[in-house]
Copies of this chain bind each other. A is one copy, B any other.
Amino acid sequence: MAKTSDQTKEACVYEQWMNLQQQELSELNQAIALNANGCTTNTELSQLIDKILSHFQDYTQKRTLMAQIDISPYFAPTWCTSLERSVLWIGGCRPSSYVRLIYALCGEEIESHLSEFLRGVRIGNLGEISGTQISMVDELQRKTIKEERKLSERIASLQEDVLDHPLASIAVKSSGGGGSTVEEALDEHGRAMAEILKEADELRMDTLREIIRILTPQQAVDFLAAGKKLRLCMQDWGKKRDLDHGRN
């Protein structure tokens, strides 16, 4: 009976997380406004940033525990819109996309589709990013993409392996074997997938921490606010498109 509530629990944790994103965006915007008027200190900004990182850490830890019980929904969650699912990488965004956001925001990415749109748009304190910071960001991006590729390859070979397992079971079945072998093989596959989700979450967390370390507190709040705005917009656009196509 305990198992029947798995999906509800997973969807519920996600909904709470998205609500928290909305709330954190408000707090960030408030802090940015106060800071523009000289009404906040760097210490106060840093406290807000730490709180946000710690929320993210809590969320991924909760998710890791739930995924160990049942991994399959995380690779294509029904609680996301189709648009969000179509850009999903191992249960979330690509860690390298955090860094791409910095490039986009500080207009450094020459080939970006953004350049024409960004002209004349206020990009806050990220406009004042230094050469040293950009070098550190570049180095972080190289490292992140390398780690991302390793995880992508591990997922690919796990997907290939699963064919072996169930096939094995068919073979056993054909000669009169039982269904418990299927369950065991799929459980083992699930555990390996859950481990990769955990590592992907760790890479997301580590990348975020590194970015925060490179940026000043003022830049970091601008960055976090833009990231959360983008995340919430993706959900809104996805909902709109699902409605347009008769999905709910």
Contacts and interface: CB of A to CB of B under 8 A. Distances in A.
A17 interface: no
Nearest to A162: B87
Contact of A168 (B76, B87, B113, B182): B113
Contact of A82 (B76, B81, B97, B185): B76
Interface size class of A (residues with CB under 8 A): 35 or more
Contact of A237 (B78, B97, B166, B177): B166
Interface in A79-96: 81-83, 85-89, 94, 96
A134 B54 CA distance: 55
A85 B94 contact: no
Nearest to A238: B72
A7 B122 CA distance: 40
B100 A71 contact: no
A139 interface: no
